[in-house]
Structure 1
Amino acid sequence: MSIHAGNGKHGHSAADIFNSAVAATAIGAAWELGGFEQLHQRGVLDIEDFAAGNDLDPAATTAMFRALASVGVVIRESGKVLPGPGFDDAYRSKALFYWLCQGSWELFARMPALLRNENRTGAFHRRDQQAISRASREANTEFFDPLFWRAMATVGSSFSTVADLGSGSGERLIKLVQEYPGARGIGLDISAATIEMSTAEVTRRGLAESISFLRADVRELRPRPEFAEVELLTCFMMGHDLWPKADAVRSLRLLRELFPNVKRFLLGDTVRTVDLPDDGIPVFTLGFETGHALMGVYLPTADEWGDVFDQSGWNRVNTHTSDALAGTVVFELV
Structure 2
Amino acid sequence: MQASSIFNGYIGSHLCYHLGKSGIFDLFNDAEKIDIKTLTDNKNNEQKSSLFKSLIDYSLKFGLFEQDQHEKLSLTTLGKDLKKNVGFFTWAVGGYGDFIKNFTSINPDNGESFYSMVDGGDVALGSRQANRAFMWDTVVAEFDQQDIKNIVDLGSGNAGALINVCKVFDGVNGIGIDISSKAIVEANENILNNDMQQRITVHNQNVLDAIDDPALGEKFDQVDTVMSFMMMHDLFNAQDPVKVLRKLRTTFPNANTFFIADTFLSDEQQLDADTPIFSYGFEYVHHFMNIKLFNKEDYEQYFVEAGFEITKVKYLNVPNTYLYVLK
Is 1:229 paired with 2:218? no
Aligned residue for 1:241?
Answer: 234
CA contact (8 A) 1:19 1:70 kept: no
Aligned residue for 2:130?
Answer: 139
The amino acid across from 1:30 in the alignment is L
CA shift digits 1:264-297 (9 cap, x unpaired): 1001122222246532310121212112212222
CA contact (8 A) 2:120 2:183 kept: no
Deviation at 1:34, TM superposition (A): 2.8
Mapped to 2, the partners of 1:21 and 1:199 lie a distance apart of: 33
The amino acid across from 2:281 in the alignment is G
Query: Once structures 1 and 2 are overlaid, which stretch shifts more, 52-61 or 235-244?
Result: 52-61
Distance 1:207 1:120, change over 3 A: same
CA contact (8 A) 1:23 1:70 kept: no
- Residue from 89, 92, 111 that aligns with 1:97: 89
Distance 1:20 1:120, change over 3 A: farther
Give runs of aligned pairs for residues 139-158 of structure 1, distance below 5 A. Answer: 139-155=130-146, 157=147
Aligned residue for 2:292?
Answer: 298
Deviation at 1:39, TM superposition (A): 4.6
The size of the alignment, in residue pairs, is: 318
Aligned residue for 1:15?
Answer: 4
Which blocks of at least 5 consecutive residues in structure 1 are unaligned? 1-10
CA contact (8 A) 1:113 1:119 kept: no
Q: Aligned-pair RMSD on alpha carbons? A: 3.1
Aligned to 1:298, the other structure's residue is in SS state coil
Aligned residue for 2:64?
Answer: 73
TM-score (norm 2): 0.83
Higher relative contact order (CA 8 A, sep 6+): 1
Deviation at 1:246, TM superposition (A): 4.8
Distance 1:122 1:139, change over 3 A: same
CA contact (8 A) 2:222 2:254 kept: yes
Give runs of aligned pairs for residues 126-275 of structure 1, distance below 5 A. Answer: 126-155=117-146, 157=147, 159-191=148-180, 194-195=183-184, 197-199=186-188, 201-202=190-191, 205-220=194-209, 221-222=211-212, 223=214, 224-244=217-237, 246-275=239-268
TM-score (norm 1): 0.81
The amino acid across from 2:208 in the alignment is R
CA contact (8 A) 1:20 1:71 kept: no
The amino acid across from 1:264 in the alignment is T
Aligned residue for 1:4?
Answer: none
Mapped to 2, the partners of 1:328 and 1:108 lie a distance apart of: 23
CA shift digits 1:105-133 (9 cap, x unpaired): 2222236547xx98998514612333323
CA contact (8 A) 2:124 2:183 kept: no
Mapped to 1, the partners of 2:111 and 2:261 lie a distance apart of: 29
Deviation at 1:163, TM superposition (A): 1.7
Q: Percent identity?
A: 23
Mapped to 1, the partners of 2:313 and 2:206 lie a distance apart of: 26
The amino acid across from 1:232 in the alignment is T
Query: Once structures 1 and 2 are overlaid, which stretch shifts more, 240-249 or 258-267?
Result: 240-249
Which blocks of at least 5 consecutive residues in structure 2 are unaligned? none
CA contact (8 A) 1:23 1:67 kept: no
Mapped to 2, the partners of 1:176 and 1:23 lie a distance apart of: 34
Aligned to 1:123, the other structure's residue is in SS state coil
CA contact (8 A) 1:187 1:211 kept: yes
Query: Once structures 1 and 2 are overlaid, which stretch shifts more, 291-300 or 187-196?
Result: 187-196
Aligned to 1:86, the other structure's residue is in SS state helix
Distance 1:104 1:51, change over 3 A: farther
Query: Once structures 1 and 2 are overlaid, which stretch shifts more, 70-79 or 135-144?
Result: 70-79
CA contact (8 A) 2:121 2:182 kept: no
Aligned to 1:164, the other structure's residue is in SS state strand
Deviation at 1:200, TM superposition (A): 5.5
Aligned residue for 1:7?
Answer: none
Aligned residue for 2:303?
Answer: 309
The amino acid across from 2:86 in the alignment is K
